[in-house]
Structure 1
């Protein structure tokens, strides 16, 4: 099952360990990556790398083997996220940037220690 749209173009994302793709959908710029076959801590690293690029009218879509529960507390002050089940046991997580000036997210914090634990 190919999850990347035909109009997508690969883009370089600083710090990423998987390919990222960029495309337009419904008037918004979408960045997408698939970390479903990656082991710990790559999904967290790739999510943090992608989130750093987002501006107000852009989306980041993460395809992953599990919902990244350890990621959500780290980013919830600055980003909204929606988790959807996909066919084949994967998850689609869509991130959008909240509209506020002060960023609280520490993009260098790519570890999984803490209350939420790490799930790939």
Structure 2
């Protein structure tokens, strides 16, 4: 099991292409996944799938990725707060949560790679 999700429960999520995990920390429910070994657009697709599971500010998404997801941010920054922590090399841990006053929404997961 991944070091970031060692105390988490693996969950089945429709539309996900990676294992997803759920855990609680400090009164917050996290949905997480590790997309470091994926190629675009798979990390973005999984992030959008995870965000579709967030109903309120008591839940957050934890994305472990091979670099900061610059293509994802413009698609979500109007409704979500994004923080990140550098890990090893270019790898990052990204935490995404619903902005205060924003409503949960269904995000389109049909993402194509622009390359």
Please confirm whether the aligned pair reaches a TM-score higher than 0.5, indicating the same fold: yes
Q: CA deviation at 1:109?
A: 4.8
CA distance in 2: counterparts of 1:48 and 1:85, whole angstroms: 21
| Equivalent residue, structure 2, for 1:31 | 31
Any unmatched runs of 5+ in structure 2?
Answer: none
1:1-120 correspondence to structure 2 within 5 Å: 2-6=3-7, 8-56=8-56, 57-98=58-99, 99-101=101-103, 103=105, 106-113=107-114
CA distance in 2: counterparts of 1:26 and 1:81, whole angstroms: 18
Q: CA deviation at 1:88?
A: 4.8
Any unmatched runs of 5+ in structure 1?
Answer: none
> For each residue in 1:20-79, what CA deviation from the matched residue of structure 2 results, as whole angstroms up to 9, or x when unmatched?
000110011011100000011100110010010012210100000011101000011111
Contact (CA 8 Å) 1:51, 1:60: kept in 2 or not? yes
Q: CA deviation at 1:108?
A: 3.5
- Residue 31 to residue 90, structure 1, CA distance change in 2 (3 Å): same
RMSD: 2.0
Using structure 1 for the length normalisation, give the TM-score.
0.82
Contact (CA 8 Å) 1:45, 1:110: kept in 2 or not? yes
Contact (CA 8 Å) 1:74, 1:106: kept in 2 or not? no
